[in-house]
Chain A
Amino acid sequence: MSTDPFAALANPVRRQILDALRGGPRPVGEIVDMFRLSRPAVSEHLRVLRAAELIAEQRRGRQRLYYLTPTPLAGVEEWLHPFERYWRGRLRDLADFLAEQTDAQKGDQR
């Protein structure tokens, strides 16, 4: 599972989905119809975009709508939020890596 905004933005289908959502929320069926792709394939792209918090889902009656997060009128902090999450994740990875390295060194000394 990827929550990496860089990876999420790298795919052309996902960029087209985001572009389409500029005009406002859209039902999942409409998004599927934009592409010559199977519904599961489009759903997978939507899942990646959701995991990166670039879009969100809302149920309205029997419909599932997708919309851009943050909304087009949001402040810059909100737009940078996925990147902030990305860096927090990398710093945690670095902490884990250094801890493993230290453990390995202690193991060598035994």
Chain B
Amino acid sequence: MTEIRVDQFLPHPPEAVWRALTDPELIVKWWAAADGLVPVVGHRFELDMNRWGRQKCTVLEVDEPRVLAYTFGEGVIDTVLRWTIEAEGSGSRLFLEHSGFDPDSELGAVALKGMGSGWPHVLTRIAAALAPAT
């Protein structure tokens, strides 16, 4: 397993959840500044993860108000976030899949081959990404 899956019931209609996931003015109130996010495939934006820095993202999939997927941490951890909203009773269930912990990447290789070194491999990549450009 190389992905993380979590889900949450929300007593709100899918459209309300969709807005909270796609409107930068709302996203910043519960997660991070998502400057320039427009739910259009191919659109590029940045998520400000505070001390972890600004993460480059590209929209991969849009099916309003059901599916939103974008790359997460381009050049750092190179993963994908996929949000899925399903109507459930009087509200919605929101699924999040954080995938693409790629078996071919350093992180994936380490993760899948017995964790010889583990986190430090991730750290090396993050450190490289955070290092000031010369």
Contacts and interface: CB of A to CB of B under 8 A. Distances in A.
A55 to B, nearest CB: 9
Contact of B17 (A12, A15, A83, A98): A98
A76 B111 contact: yes
Nearest to B7: A91
Interface in A71-110: 71-77, 79-80, 83-84, 87-88, 90-99, 102
Nearest to B107: A79
A73 B117 CA distance: 9
A43 to B, nearest CB: 19
Interface of A: 6-7, 9-12, 15, 18-19, 22, 54, 68, 70-77, 79-80, 83-84, 87-88, 90-99, 102
In this complex, the interface size class of chain B, counting residues with CB under 8 Å from chain A, is 35 or more
A95 B6 CA distance: 13
Given A7-B49, A9-B123, A92-B8, 20 more contacts: A7-B52, A12-B127, A15-B123, A18-B119, A19-B120, A22-B118, A68-B118, A72-B115, A73-B114, A74-B118, A75-B115, A76-B101, A76-B115, A77-B1, A83-B98, A87-B98, A90-B31, A94-B8, A94-B10, A95-B10
Interface of B: 1-2, 4, 6-8, 10-12, 16-17, 20, 26, 29-31, 49-53, 94, 96, 98, 101, 111-112, 114-120, 122-123, 126-127, 130
B112 to A, nearest CB: 6
Nearest to B9: A95
Nearest to A102: B12
Nearest to B95: A91
B51 A98 contact: no
B26 to A, nearest CB: 8
A72 B77 CA distance: 19
A84 B30 contact: no
Given A54-B119, A98-B20, A80 B49 contact: no
Contacts of A7: 49-52
7 contacts: A9-B123, A9-B126, A71-B115, A75-B115, A94-B10, A97-B30, A102-B12
A95 B98 CA distance: 19
A88 B6 CA distance: 6
